Amino acid sequence: MRPPHRQPTRRHFLARVRAFRRREQRDAMYTVATFLVRHSWGKPGEMADALGVLLLTWNQAFYRYGPFDSARLERCLRAHLPTLRRLRRRSVASLTRADRPPVARLFRALLRALRIRSGPRRGHSSPVAVAKALHLLAPRCLPLWDDAIARAYGCHYAGRDPAERYWTFCERTRTFARHARPWVRRDGRPLLKALDEYNYATYTKGWR
């Protein structure tokens, strides 16, 4: 399945990745949160704390209205840990149609767990926060998105089931990953992180 956006050339792709790494000041939090998730793996309470490090920074625009319930997130991670373990060992290239139901269930569970727990927007949820959490938990397998990126891929979720739209985004990212894999240097970051850097610079920020 082809993504709806134009596939970039190698030069264009690498230029946008460089622009991201030069200009995005919050990216250090990704490194910290990745480290924390890795070292807390298998301990849902600590995993929830690690996810919070990233979400309360990267998704500050949403969570400024109120925090999510860490205890509820911990329970969600504990319930879905077997699925998360399987996905963490895999790459986006390995995803098949058989993965659609478990990925969708996991997305919906996290969408509930990451709702704002109090304040004027109590009960509101963020598909962006869910994708960020999923990527930290399975960084080679599950991609990141935001509103602008989802629109660019023809996967916008407003008024639709965001779990199904996310699955379509996974499929389209799998195609893009095959295209861009030869261009990503082995710098310790997952391929999907480089794709997100390109997407964010291109569609979210318009950086050149």
Give 19-34 pLDDT, tens digit per residue: 999 998 878 888 899 9
**Residue 53, pLDDT above cutoff 90:** no
Rg, C-alpha atoms of the chain: 16
Contact 154, 204 (CB under 8 A): no
pTM (two decimals): 0.94
Q: Percentage of residues in the chain with pLDDT exceeding 70?
A: 97
Residue 186 has pLDDT above 80, yes or no: no
Q: Determine the Cα–Cα distance for residues 77 and 74; give it in Å rounded to an integer.
A: 5
Q: 123: buried, middle or exposed (CB in 10 Å: 19+, 13-18, 0-12)?
A: exposed
pLDDT class of 5 with cuts at 50, 70, 90:
low
Residue type, 136: L
- Residue 187 sits at φ, ψ, to 5 deg, of -105, 15
Q: What is the pLDDT of residues 81-140, one digit of tens each?
A: 999 999 999 999 999 999 999 999 999 999 999 999 999 999 999 999 999 999 999 999
Q: What percentage of the chain carries pLDDT values higher than 90?
A: 83
Strand, coil or helix: 135: helix
Residues 6+ apart with CB under 8 A from 189: none
pLDDT at 2: 44
Contact between residue 130 and residue 110 where contact means Cβ atoms under 8 Å apart: yes
Residue 75 has a pLDDT of 98
What is the residue-averaged pLDDT of the chain? 93
Residues 158 and 48: their CA atoms lie apart, in Å, by: 27
Is residue 144 predicted with pLDDT exceeding 60? yes
pLDDT at 3 over 60: no
Tell me how far apart the alpha carbons of residues 97 and 112 are, in angstroms, rounded to a whole number: 24
